[in-house]
Structure 1
Amino acid sequence: MKSFTEVTGEATAPLLSVRDLCVTYRTDAGPVVALDRLSFDLRAGETLSIVGESGSGKSAASLAVMGLLPRNAVAAGSVRFRGQELLGLSDREMRTVRGRRIAMVFQDALAALNPMMTVGAQLAEAVSVHDPDISRAALRDRAVELLDLVGISDPRTRAGQYPHELSGGMRQRVMIATGIANEPDVLIADEPTTALDVTVQAQVLDVLGRVQDRTKSAILLITHDLGVVAGLADRVLVLYCGRKMEEAPVEPLFYRSAHPYTRGLLAALPRIDRGTRRLAQIAGQPPSPTERPPGCPFQNRCPHAEDRCAESLLPVTVGEGHTAVCLRASEIASVTP
């Protein structure tokens, strides 16, 4: 597979372009908007992380891109992969993209893997679905190669084992191996380190980085863990109540964040340069999904809120590639977190 620098014009053109993506769930309590006009671009070799609290819309974004939303969900807007519109494609049409050009690493490996099949057979299946003419011997070799690529020792033996015979970290590596089996252009990793201890978490992140170096794939990293973001992401998009609050390269986001919500998330992180003082917390609760206020949805929890926050959701440019949906963004960014 060619890297983006080997293809004329691909260095600047996004692989994945999302514009005004809205996802609404039909519920007994009424329609629930999980995503509200989300827009972003993802380029080859880049890692974009989407962060936010539970219920912010992170997973809804990834499922909409993959065409895996449940039946009670409706998606609107635009999701383009290499210029091709994905929203509206039939499931049959999406199968030519899903797994081959855009793949996903799910957060619960034990639930995602089939307990009745060896991990080698599952990897082989992921390849054969898109290449039905490949021989059985080649499939076995490919499965072993993938397990070796993600850092599993004695990959030939492990390929013959079942998911329950592997540790949590190994199962997560198998999920990554399944995702990269067809060397996709875009790899979506949905909370890939959830429930793993910090040592295994670091190993899994290292695997993702090494895989990206080899395949030149773009990674869309869905997480609530800002420590993971700092170690892997190039750019960060902060979601709150389904809306983009801030987007920036990773260093400006950590050192010159411009939205009060982002500042609240960062203040809740333990830092070795701040001793043992108590961690900050964001006051209040997110608004009800069925009764969101006009304007900024964070206003009822924001220490900088003003009356005009109920009227505006316009993004403010803070720096190169750095925007925040806050009327006081420039003022907040000027203060060291």
Structure 2
Amino acid sequence: MKTVGPGPRAEETPEPLLSVRNLCVTYRTDSGSVPALDQLSFDLHAGETLSIVGESGSGKSAASLAMMGLLPPNAVVEGSVRFRGRELLDLSDKKLREVRGKRIAMVFQDALAALNPMMTVGAQLAEAVSVHDSSASRAALRERAVELLDLVGIPSPRSRSDQYPHELSGGMRQRVMIASGIANEPDILIADEPTTALDVTVQAQILDVLMRIQDRTKSAILLITHDLGVVAGLADRVLVLYCGRKMEEAPVEPLFYEPAHPYTRGLLAALPRIDRGTRRLAQIAGQPPSPGERPGGCPFQTRCPHADERCDVIPRPVRVGENHTAACVHAHEIERVTP
């Protein structure tokens, strides 16, 4: 498990790189408004890895796309997203493009869909650089593409740069996506499910690439995933989302060893562990409610074993430890041990 503590440059940069406050995302549809994210707040510091976890539909990707200005036109975004003190939600598309890819970059989960099948991977990496550096020569761009491929561990990077995405394996395509994300050495790298659909060996290699890149560039990483094993190996802090609301936030070790929210405990109980023999994995009862049918109070109450009448009111986050909060009225009553 990664060493817990402030990011490497936390003392040099007391103010967060990214400060998100009360971020809300609502989709307008023919059948009415559909909430996807509700009052999300968090900070991300230089050199830190913050992981956002939760089941599918919890709002993880909606949060990252809202920060990057990549949501569809029917999405209504409210709240505040400040990067180095600059409000991003107020920027025009032109101004936001100056930030996107240069200062904040994103690694998408489906590399085959994200990469252009009609361009070689080298040409795509060169394009990612040239968008923010129009003065770079063609030869310099090609060399930069080869350098990036070598940096993410692709063998024979010069010959690979002339290949098309379909000629590469899934793991190599994901490495190309990471190379594209770090092409301009951004301050923040958003990795949205970067190991989805990869086998365990390739997954470990991709995580190693991310850690090496972070060590070299000192970038902050916002890791979006449903895989708690990935979180344990890479994150400094963890933010747990459910139905678009923050359930718990803590450094990685307290969250894994002393979870305070019933939802977090349910996720951890469903995680396979080699120290517990062949016991049957636990599962969280029921299914997440659809966006239009969420309960008025705590969104997890219909699945929670601790639910009572106090859960009919939306819970406020309470402090349960150092830098550890949980949005649950039962947070101080639940046994704080690994489930």
Aligned equivalents of 2:273, 2:30: Cα separation in 1: 43
1:123-157 deviations in Å (ceiling 9; x for gaps): 00000000000111111110010000000011001
Aligned equivalents of 1:198, 1:286: Cα separation in 2: 28
Aligned equivalents of 1:123, 1:81: Cα separation in 2: 25
Q: CA deviation at 1:294?
A: 1.4
Counterpart selection for 2:289 from 283, 287, 290: 287
Counterpart selection for 1:16 from 18, 43, 62: 18
Q: CA deviation at 1:7?
A: 8.7
Q: CA deviation at 1:330?
A: 2.0
Aligned equivalents of 1:251, 1:258: Cα separation in 2: 12
Q: CA deviation at 1:5?
A: 9.7
Q: Which runs of 5+ in 2 are unaligned?
A: 1-5
Q: Secondary structure at the match of 2:79?
A: strand
Conserved? CA contact 2:165–2:173, under 8 Å: yes
C-alpha distance 275-7 of structure 1, shift in aligned 2 (>3 A): closer
C-alpha distance 88-232 of structure 1, shift in aligned 2 (>3 A): same
Structure-2 residue corresponding to 1:307: 309
Q: How does 1:69-218 map to 2 (within 5 A)?
A: 69-218=71-220
Conserved? CA contact 1:20–1:36, under 8 Å: yes
Aligned equivalents of 1:73, 1:167: Cα separation in 2: 34
Aligned equivalents of 1:226, 1:293: Cα separation in 2: 27
CA-based RMSD: 1.5
Structure 1 residues 174-183 or 7-16, which shifts more? 7-16
Aligned equivalents of 1:34, 1:45: Cα separation in 2: 29
1:217-270 deviations in Å (ceiling 9; x for gaps): 000000000011001000000000000000000000100000000000011111
The one-letter code sitting in structure 1 at the alignment partner of 2:175 is R
1:293-318 deviations in Å (ceiling 9; x for gaps): 11210001000111011124111101
Structure 1 residues 326-335 or 28-37, which shifts more? 326-335
Q: CA deviation at 1:333?
A: 4.8
Normalised to the residue count of structure 2, the TM-score between the two structures is: 0.96
Normalised to the residue count of structure 1, the TM-score between the two structures is: 0.97
Conserved? CA contact 1:14–1:42, under 8 Å: yes
Structure-1 residue corresponding to 2:319: 317
Structure-1 residue corresponding to 2:268: 266
Structure-1 residue corresponding to 2:298: 296
Q: How does 1:222-237 map to 2 (within 5 A)?
A: 222-237=224-239
Q: Secondary structure at the match of 1:313?
A: coil
Counterpart selection for 1:278 from 262, 280, 288: 280
Structure-1 residue corresponding to 2:3: none
The one-letter code sitting in structure 1 at the alignment partner of 2:88 is L
Aligned residue pair count: 334
Conserved? CA contact 2:319–2:326, under 8 Å: yes
Moved over 2 A (4+): 4-11, 333-337
Conserved? CA contact 2:317–2:325, under 8 Å: yes
Q: Secondary structure at the match of 1:53?
A: coil
Conserved? CA contact 2:298–2:314, under 8 Å: yes
1:166-193 deviations in Å (ceiling 9; x for gaps): 0000000000000000000000000000
The one-letter code sitting in structure 1 at the alignment partner of 2:49 is T
Aligned equivalents of 1:5, 1:287: Cα separation in 2: 36
Q: Secondary structure at the match of 2:291?
A: coil
Q: CA deviation at 1:29?
A: 2.1
Q: Which runs of 5+ in 1 are unaligned?
A: none
Structure-2 residue corresponding to 1:46: 48
Aligned equivalents of 2:60, 2:31: Cα separation in 1: 22
Aligned equivalents of 2:332, 2:338: Cα separation in 1: 12
Q: Secondary structure at the match of 2:332?
A: helix
Aligned equivalents of 2:8, 2:267: Cα separation in 1: 39
Aligned equivalents of 2:272, 2:8: Cα separation in 1: 42
Q: CA deviation at 1:8?
A: 11
The one-letter code sitting in structure 2 at the alignment partner of 1:239 is L
Aligned equivalents of 1:293, 1:8: Cα separation in 2: 39
Identity %: 82
C-alpha distance 270-5 of structure 1, shift in aligned 2 (>3 A): closer
Q: Secondary structure at the match of 1:140?
A: helix
Conserved? CA contact 1:237–1:244, under 8 Å: yes
Structure-2 residue corresponding to 1:253: 255
Conserved? CA contact 2:9–2:46, under 8 Å: no
